[in-house]
Amino acid sequence: MGQPKQFLALAGQTILARTIAVFEQANSIDEIILVVNQDDIDRARQIRSKKLKQIVAGGKERQDSVFNGLQALPADTDIVAIHDGARPLVTVEIIERAIAEAEKFGAIVVGVPVVDTIKKVVSSKQLVESSERRVEETLDRSLLWAAQTPQIFKKEIIVKAYSQKDQHKVTDDAMLVEKLGIPVKMVMGSYHNIKITSPADLMIAEAILKEGK
C-alpha cells in the first residue's frame, strides 16, 4: 500500500480510527489497548477515543505484537478481544455476539463459510522454481471457514496460549489456543468484515460504506 495501511483514509477517517470507533460503541468493551509499530505511536496518539487507554509498541511478528498487548492488560480483565486494525467494517453486533459466546465457551473465532472451491497444491523445490503447481486434492468446502477477527478469549486461556508463542509460527491467535488442545468455537461474522491489504480492498470498503449510508 506504500505506507502503513491502517493510517490510510477511508470515507473521511483513517482506517484505524474507524476500527476503534466501532469498539468504542460496543457496551461490552471497557478498555482498548492499541498496538502499533514504534514509528507510528505519535500518529496513533492523535486518535480520540474515551476507551483507548494505552498505546503499546508492537514486535517483529504479529504474535510478538499481540504478546506485547497482552502484557498491558489490567489485572482484573476477564475477556480479551483481539482485532486487526485493518478490519474497519466489523460491527458492534458481531463484537457483542462474539463476546457473549466467549463468556460461555472460552475461545471464539469470528469467520465466514468459504464460498470458493479450495484446492490443496503441492510442489517440489524444482516445481516452485519453474512456477508450476500441482493439485493434490480438492478440499471439502462445506467444512471450510475463513477466519476473521475479532478473536475472543477468556484471559487465562489466551495468556497461557501466548506463553508458548516462541514454540510455534502461527497466523492467528486461535492457532496458539488450538495448540493447547483447547476447543475453539466458530461464530458467524460477515462477508463485509474484510481486511484491507490492497488498494482494491480499499475501494471495496468504500463501496460497502457508501451502500450502508
The pLDDT, as a whole number, for residue 172 is 92
pLDDT tens track for 66-79: 999 999 999 999 99
Q: What pLDDT, on the 0 to 100 scale, is given for residue 177?
A: 96
8 A C-beta contact, residue 4 and residue 40 = yes
212: left (phi over 0), alpha (psi -120 to 50) or beta: alpha
Angstrom CA distances, 160 to 21, 72, 76, 112, 164, stand at 29, 15, 16, 27, 7
Per DSSP, the three-state class of 32 is strand
Output the pLDDT for position 129.
58
What does the alpha-carbon distance between residue 172 and residue 82 come to, in Å, rounded to a whole number?
A: 10
pLDDT of 213 reads 59
What is the CATH topology of the domain spanning 5-212?
A: Spore Coat Polysaccharide Biosynthesis Protein SpsA; Chain A (3.90.550)
Low-confidence ranges of the chain (pLDDT < 50): none
Residues 82 and 93: their CA atoms lie apart, in Å, by: 16
pLDDT of residue 130: 57
Which strand (E) or helix (H) includes residue 33? strand 32-36
Q: What pLDDT score was predicted for residue 50?
A: 95
